[in-house]
Amino acid sequence: NAGVTQTPKFRVLKTGQSMTLLCAQDMNHEYMYWYRQDPGMGLRLIHYSVGEGTTAKGEVPDGYNVSRLKKQNFLLGLESAAPSQTSVYFCASSYSDRSYEQYFGPGTRLTVT
């Protein structure tokens, strides 16, 4: 099992550019999450999904969109990147009856200049 994988690992964008981060899990988890991690702020939930075809907003959803067309994939999109979106992005997944026990991917380090 690969667990949770994220693509790409690193990316540099210019302000206004767009990109999509891909998360994939092979554990048949129902729930998936996108977090951002910033120094001194811990992890903040951007969006999450409780099943294929569903998405919901987390704490800091502005400037991001998500889609979950397939159960195993959860995409995070930035339509017009801003320097404030410079961060490390983590995807996670969990079973529906154990949403507290999340399995994390290795992260994507994004820099917006």
Q: How many residues bind another protein (CB under 8 A)?
A: 21
Q: Is 102 helix (H, G, I), strand (E, B) or coil?
A: coil
Q: Which stretch binds another protein (CB under 8 A): 14-22, 62-70, 73-81, 93-101?
A: 93-101
Beta carbon of residue 49, minimum distance to another protein (angstroms, whole number): 11
Strand-pair category, 10-13 with 87-94: unpaired
Contact between 56 and 47 under an 8 Å Cβ cutoff? The reply is yes
24 near another protein (CB under 8 A)? no
**Binding to another protein (CB under 8 A): which residues in 39-68?**
40-43, 45, 50, 58
In this structure, what DSSP letter does residue 16 have?
T
